[in-house]
Homo-oligomer: A and B are copies of this chain.
Amino acid sequence: MDPSSQERQSLVEEFAAKGLRLTSQRRALLEVIQSAKEHLDAKSLLRLAKERDSSVNRATVYRTLELLKKLRLVDELDLMHLNGEKHYYEVRSERDHIHLACFRCGKIEEFGSALFERLKQEIGRECGFHINVVRMEVGGSCSDCAKHAD
């Protein structure tokens, strides 16, 4: 009941709310992205979306991802190219966060901080730059791996 405890609107809802056609293929993809527990690339998204609607095609996945990026519903990540040149996707969250990629164990951590928010504000203020998308990725050794050596 308390509005602050509400789940954020689902991707599917937000997508439909923009007046775009919610085809079964798009719905399948949106549901997959929304429910993902980890960062998924286009190939994985296709595989999982096909489990919901076997007619989903690779081209549709790419075309829909392009659309979602433009709509700012989804962010595209590189994750420091830890596993090749492909991209990963995640639902855009309320608060931006930094991705920390461990070169040793491959773990991806997310880190948000007030300092990060201030930095973004500073960019707007100092450079007169109007920010649409921010991507900050850090590569190195996570706390577990850093212990062992460098």
Chain A positions near chain B (C-beta within 8 angstroms): 76, 78, 80-81, 85, 98, 100, 102-103, 109, 111, 113, 115-116, 118-120, 122-123, 126-143, 146, 150
Contacts and interface: CB of A to CB of B under 8 A. Distances in A.
Given A85-B85, A119-B116, A123-B98, A140 B130 contact: yes
Contact of A133 (B80, B118, B130): B80
28 contacts: A76-B81, A78-B78, A98-B123, A100-B123, A103-B132, A109-B127, A109-B129, A111-B123, A111-B126, A111-B127, A113-B122, A115-B118, A115-B122, A119-B119, A123-B138, A127-B142, A128-B146, A129-B140, A129-B142, A129-B143, A131-B140, A132-B140, A132-B141, A133-B139, A134-B139, A135-B135, A135-B136, A135-B137
Contacts of A139: 131-135
Contacts of A76: 81
A134 B138 contact: yes
How many copies of this kind of chain does the complex include? 2
A81 to B, nearest CB: 8
B123 A133 contact: no
A134 B135 CA distance: 11
Contacts of A103: 132
B133 A129 contact: no
Given A85-B85, A111-B127, 13 more contacts: A76-B81, A100-B129, A102-B129, A109-B127, A111-B126, A113-B122, A115-B119, A127-B142, A127-B143, A128-B146, A130-B141, A135-B137, A136-B137
